[in-house]
Amino acid sequence: MIDLAEDDDQLTIAATAARLLAERDTSPAAAGELWKTCAELGWLALALPEEAGGVGYGACAQVMLFREMGRELAIGPFLANSLAAHAALASGRPDLVESLTTGSLRAALAQAGPPGQVWFFQDEAPADLLLVRDAGGDLRLVEGAGLRIVDALSTVDPAYRLITAATDPADAPALPAPVREYIGSAWQILTAAQLAGIAERVRDMSVGYGIDRVQYGRQIGSFQAVKHRCADMAVRAEAAWAITSLAAVGLDEHLPQVAFDAAAAFVTASNAALVNSRDNIQNHGAIGFTEEHRAQLYVKRAQLLAAFFGTTASRRAALQNAVNPW
Amino acid sequence: MRLTDVATDAEFRAKVRDWLADNVPREPRPLERRAGRAFDLAWQRAQYDGGYAGVSWPAEFGGVGMGLGEQLIWFEEYVRSNAPDIGCGFVGINHAGPTLIARADDEQKAFHLPRILRGESVWCQGFSEPGAGSDLASLKTRGVVDGDHLVVTGQKIWTSEADLADHQELLVRTDPESQRHHGLTWIICDMTLPGVDVRPIMTMAGTTEFSEVFYDEVRIPLRNVVGGIGNGWSVAMATLGFERGTGFLREQLELARYIEERLAERGRRDDTVTFGLTQARAEARAMYAMTLRMVSRSAHGQDLGVTASMIRLFYSELRQKVDRLVVDGADADAVAYGADAPVLERYLDGYKVTIGAGTKDVQRNIIGERGLGLPKS
């Protein structure tokens, strides 16, 4: 059977990540330190085979890590480097694999825009290399030399900017279909893991506030209106994490249902993160609507992550087209 | 998170698939209730003869003693084979039997368990009362010890399958001074005893699946008490753990299949019903994953907390959402009603799923208070 209980190795990764992320210096100046530490811990190479310099753990370990990153709003191209390293390995580029897993190169995940342009998200540090997903779903590795930045816009998430660059991704070879499918699924599953982490963290914020905050002489979490909203947050978070775990096993074991499960995980976790982060603002009342409170950051990160795997229509089509293994 | 026992699983799956293909009844279940009972019991007997009765019961009590992985496969193949709903055998197999296994004495087990497995005995559950629904612990039906009998007087209600049942799990107050969950007793009531009066209630969907049951000085032998006088609450709660297994997976998979069938009928359309059903596909898969995760954690002996309540709530709301979508997409069938027009019948019948086995509001209280640690209302 598919065993979805986390094993000791997986729990250790989560505990290490949770501690490191919770204790980190969150000032923008310290972002480089976290990046370096994560690379040293092998987090950018968790799912790469050991003979390629990776840790050899697979997606089941990666989702534990990315869930913690979602919970703690980690900033940096962790997903982009992890996926680009796979692409580099499949392209016979061990030099790139090493640079991506040690963190000396920074990747970004890009979507093809108008002809001759791509767009991607980037934090303060510039991207050196792009993994581009074009309109047809093909994936290509585009190295940074010759990449001309056309535009840099603020995004909803204060940590990331939306960059438009002039490059023709068709100049780079399309990755072979099995690699494309693996990375396409991993992209959705690891994003789902971050979204599941967000859904869980805002659930916990609401529960904490429901216990601490007193109005009408009572803890507000004793009111069913608040309690039931928290219960629904818990159900959404559980669903998001369960389907993400199922999809991760499917990816590691090359099960035929992984395309469906990855799409289902992305849709379920997007919904969980978006609705839970919204309800968390409601549960906090006016303080939740302020910039000083962290609640709003989760709304914004959820929006950024949920919007960056194709369009709504293409995600729906993916879910319609995949064969449901039920 | 990992995949285990792939080869053994494939072998087992092939075996049960073959058996189901040869044995699943092909004729539809009769609508008339007594004929429906006969149909359900015959199918139960067929499973017993095939060695598949009580897949989640331990082997020492006559069950199959399947591992959790095998149970998952069994229910998946069961639904894929279009095997019938468990019907009126539900309470016996999924609740009364497991309660007897957990708490009954040897004589009680030896008498009742084989009858449930062989499809010779139908059970119902006498818990709810007119004044004790969500608040079960406020129940008032009285039991007085008189010699070697318990004399029961009072009323139960919303008793599913009471009109078809041979036995009942009956929860009564045996200490008149007691409050709440103290002073209750769980007893096996023979539904043919003098003084038991079953009056079916018509549901909004036009069925009579549940009844009121009146007890007028019904004399039940004391040897039918399970778990001892005064221990009824803990006996009634004994199966909570059991319900966290695979017993409810069949309904979940049937809902997943229903969504796939409706989507296949619609074909590729750009409308809100099709989009909603597509979204529901993902949610049904997430629900399966939740059950798989619960079963996995159970196998590792982990505390499951309120996971079963979360899955129950998720299922019931998904079921109602899907039913509504199908009505919205049903054209003429959106008003037609009756045996040839099942869409609205299913839709109306589905109202019960957020009420029975704990309303959705009670489930949310359980999740909020026991699961999340929020203060009581």
- Looking at the fold, whether B106 and B128 belong to one and the same domain comes out as no
Instruction: Please check whether residue A6 touches B, CB under 8 A.
Output: yes
- Bridging pattern class, strands B142-146 and A139-143: unpaired
Q: Is residue B342 part of a domain?
A: yes
- Bridging pattern class, strands B167-173 and B123-126: parallel
Q: What is the per-residue pLDDT across A131-158, written as a single tens digit (0 to 9) for each?
A: 999 888 899 999 987 688 999 999 999 9
- Please say which residue of B182, B200, B232 terminates a domain: B232
Q: Which range among A295-299, B92-96, B122-126, B267-271 shows the weakest confidence by mean pLDDT?
A: B267-271
The reported pTM is 0.95
Question: How far, in whole angstroms, is CA B31 from its chain's centroid?
Answer: 20
Cβ distance of B1 and A60 shorter than 8 Å: yes
CATH number at residue B107: 1.10.540.10
- Looking at the fold, whether B113 and B52 belong to one and the same domain comes out as yes
- Looking at the fold, whether B255 and B362 belong to one and the same domain comes out as yes
pLDDT at residue A173 in the model: 93
- Looking at the fold, whether B44 and B64 belong to one and the same domain comes out as yes
- Looking at the fold, whether B289 and B334 belong to one and the same domain comes out as yes
Rg, Å, chain A Cα set: 20
pLDDT at residue A28 in the model: 72
* Res B260 pLDDT > 90: yes
pLDDT at residue B122 in the model: 98
Nearest residue in chain B measured CA to CA from A312:
B275
| B123/B120 Cα distance (integer angstroms) | 10
The H helix count followed by the E strand count for chain A is 10, 9
- The catalytic residues of B are 243
- Looking at the fold, whether B25 and B111 belong to one and the same domain comes out as yes
Whose CA is closest to B311, among B326, B292, B332, B337?
B292
Opening angle at CA B170, ends B164 and B171, nearest 5: 150
**Chain B CB contacts of A211 below 8 Å:** 373-375
Cβ distance of A224 and B361 shorter than 8 Å: yes
Q: Is residue B241 part of a domain?
A: no
pLDDT at residue A91 in the model: 95
pLDDT at residue A146 in the model: 66
Number of residue pairs across A and B with CB atoms under 8 Å?
A: 166
Predicted-complex ipTM score: 0.96
pLDDT at residue B277 in the model: 96
Nearest residue in chain B measured CA to CA from A320:
B278
Cβ distance of B279 and A319 shorter than 8 Å: yes
Q: What is the per-residue pLDDT across A157-166, written as a single tens digit (0 to 9) for each?
A: 999 999 999 9
**Chain A CB contacts of B369 below 8 Å:** 227
Q: Which range among A159-168, A295-304, B35-44, B160-169 shows the weakest confidence by mean pLDDT?
A: A159-168
Looking at residues A54-64, what average pLDDT do you find?
95
pLDDT at residue A170 in the model: 85
Å between A307 CA and nearest CA of chain B: 16
CATH number at residue B292: 1.20.140.10
Q: Which of B253, B285, B287 to mutate to test the interface with A (most CBs of A within 10 A)?
A: B285
Å between A320 CA and nearest CA of chain B: 6
Cβ distance of A227 and B377 shorter than 8 Å: yes
- Bridging pattern class, strands B167-173 and B149-160: unpaired
Instruction: Please check whether residue A255 touches B, CB under 8 A.
Output: yes
**Chain A CB contacts of B299 below 8 Å:** 3, 5
Cβ distance of B368 and A255 shorter than 8 Å: no
**Residues of A (145-204) whose Cβ lies below 8 Å from B:** 203
Looking at residues B277-281, what average pLDDT do you find?
96
CATH number at residue B181: 2.40.110.10
State how many domains chain B has.
Answer: 3
Å between B134 CA and nearest CA of chain A: 15
Instruction: Please check whether residue A216 touches B, CB under 8 A.
Output: no
**Chain A CB contacts of B372 below 8 Å:** 203, 207, 230-231, 234
**Chain A CB contacts of B314 below 8 Å:** 235, 239
User: What is the CB neighbour count within 10 angstroms for residue B138?
Assistant: 14
pLDDT at residue A31 in the model: 79
Nearest residue in chain A measured CA to CA from B373:
A207
* Res B139 pLDDT > 80: yes
- Please say which residue of B117, B134, B151 terminates a domain: B117
Whose CA is closest to A107, among A93, A116, A115?
A93
Give one DSSP letter per residue of B116-185, joined into a string: HHTT---EEEE--BTTBSS-GGG---EEEEETTEEEEEEEEEEEETTTT-SEEEEEEE--TT--TTSSEE
Q: Is residue B242 part of a domain?
A: no
User: What is the CB neighbour count within 10 angstroms for residue B4?
Assistant: 11
Nearest to B293 among A4, A218, A320 (CB): A4
Band (pLDDT 50/70/90 cuts) for residue A326 is confident
Nearest to B372 among A230, A246, A267 (CB): A230
- Looking at the fold, whether B113 and B127 belong to one and the same domain comes out as no
pLDDT at residue B243 in the model: 60
Q: Is residue B106 part of a domain?
A: yes
- Looking at the fold, whether B331 and B255 belong to one and the same domain comes out as yes
Nearest to A230 among B268, B297, B368 (CB): B368
| B60/B245 Cα distance (integer angstroms) | 18
Cβ distance of B292 and A211 shorter than 8 Å: no
Yes or no: say if A298 and A277 are a contact pair by the CB < 8 Å rule: yes
- Looking at the fold, whether B190 and B151 belong to one and the same domain comes out as yes
Q: What b-and-e string marks burial along B346-359, b requiring 16 or more CB atoms within 10 Å of the CB?
A: bbbbbebbbeebbe
Q: Is residue B237 part of a domain?
A: no
Nearest residue in chain A measured CA to CA from B290:
A242
- Looking at the fold, whether B15 and B112 belong to one and the same domain comes out as yes
Q: What is the per-residue pLDDT across A85-129, written as a single tens digit (0 to 9) for each?
A: 999 999 999 999 999 999 999 999 999 888 889 999 999 899 999
The continuous run of DSSP H or E covering A107 comes out as strand A107-112
Instruction: Please check whether residue A267 touches B, CB under 8 A.
Output: yes
| B278/B159 Cα distance (integer angstroms) | 36
Cβ distance of B372 and A3 shorter than 8 Å: no
Å between B104 CA and nearest CA of chain A: 32
Cβ distance of A224 and B365 shorter than 8 Å: yes
**Chain B CB contacts of A224 below 8 Å:** 361, 364-365, 377
Question: How far, in whole angstroms, is CA B49 from its chain's centroid?
Answer: 23
Nearest residue in chain A measured CA to CA from B363:
A231
Q: What is the mean pLDDT of chain A?
A: 94
**What residue numbers bound the domain in which B305 lies?**
248-371
**Chain B CB contacts of A4 below 8 Å:** 1, 289, 292-293, 296-297
Q: Does domain A177-321 have CATH number 1.20.140.10?
A: yes
Token pair 């318990």 is at which residue? Answer: B150
Nearest residue in chain A measured CA to CA from B293:
A4
pLDDT at residue B116 in the model: 98
Cβ distance of A245 and B1 shorter than 8 Å: yes
Listed by start position, the domains of chain A span 177-321
**Which two tokens mark B358?**
């704990």
Q: Is residue B239 part of a domain?
A: no
Q: What is the per-residue pLDDT across A196-221, written as a single tens digit (0 to 9) for each?
A: 999 999 999 999 999 999 999 999 99
Q: What is the per-residue pLDDT across B171-216, written as a single tens digit (0 to 9) for each?
A: 999 999 999 999 999 999 999 999 999 999 999 999 999 999 999 9
Instruction: Please check whether residue A235 touches B, CB under 8 A.
Output: yes
* Res B246 pLDDT > 90: no
